[in-house]
């Protein structure tokens, strides 16, 4: 348990550098409470028409013990790293992928899902995910729990378009 807590703290510190990348006009985050899944702040956007905020996904654990991190910038440029093998990779999402990801991660429904995911399940060999969208951050174990269709769609999009 201490090991997992330290890993989540390390992820939070790593993601803190991305939280400073707010877009012009964004308001500073305010605490709207916290949950066992992460922190909550203000909305990062309003859906179609807004710019894609910087998005970071990490996936750790599983039977093979993966440790993957991908960061996607507002222009769709992404960088992917994995510990335990392989060089860092970079690329760019195409315009339709950027628009689809933006439309997913900037909706109130996505932000609500980020706040509701739960981490109190303990899955042997399950994945632990963390996502940061602008100043919002959450983490969860992929072990059942509340449905999260928008988060799942975003992860599917990123998985299909990148090495993540």
Res. 42: pLDDT tops 50: no
The CATH number for 37's domain is: 3.30.1560
| Cβ atoms 134, 15 nearer than 8 A | no
Task: Tell me how many domains the chain contains.
Answer: 1
Phi, psi (degrees; rounded to nearest 5) at 62 = 80, 175
Report pLDDT for 72.
98
Residue 78's domain comprises 2-161
Helix, coil or strand: residue 38: strand
The encoded tokens of residue 69 equal 């991190």
Handedness of CA 108, 32, 5, 86 (dihedral sign): positive
Q: The pTM is what?
A: 0.68
Q: How confident is the model at residue 79 (pLDDT cuts 50, 70, 90)?
A: very high
| Residues 117-145: tens digit of each pLDDT | 665 666 778 888 999 999 999 988 887 77
């Amino acid at each position: 348990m201490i090991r997992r807590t330290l890993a989540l703290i390390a992820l939070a510190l790593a993601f803190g550098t991305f939280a400073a990348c707010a877009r012009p006009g964004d308001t500073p985050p305010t605490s709207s409470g916290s949950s066992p899944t992460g922190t909550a702040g203000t909305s990062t956007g309003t859906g179609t028409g807004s710019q894609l905020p910087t998005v970071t996904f990490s996936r750790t654990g599983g039977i093979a013990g993966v440790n993957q991190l991908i960061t996607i910038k507002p222009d769709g440029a992404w960088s992917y790293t994995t510990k335990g093998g392989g060089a860092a990779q970079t690329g760019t999402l195409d315009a339709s992928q950027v628009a689809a990801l933006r439309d997913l991660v900037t909706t109130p429904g996505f932000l609500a899902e980020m706040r509701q995911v739960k981490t109190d399940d303990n899955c042997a060999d399950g994945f632990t995910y963390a996502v940061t969208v602008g100043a919002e951050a959450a983490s969860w174990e992929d072990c059942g729990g509340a449905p999260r269709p928008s988060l799942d769609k975003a992860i599917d999009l990123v998985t299909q378009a990148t090495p993540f």
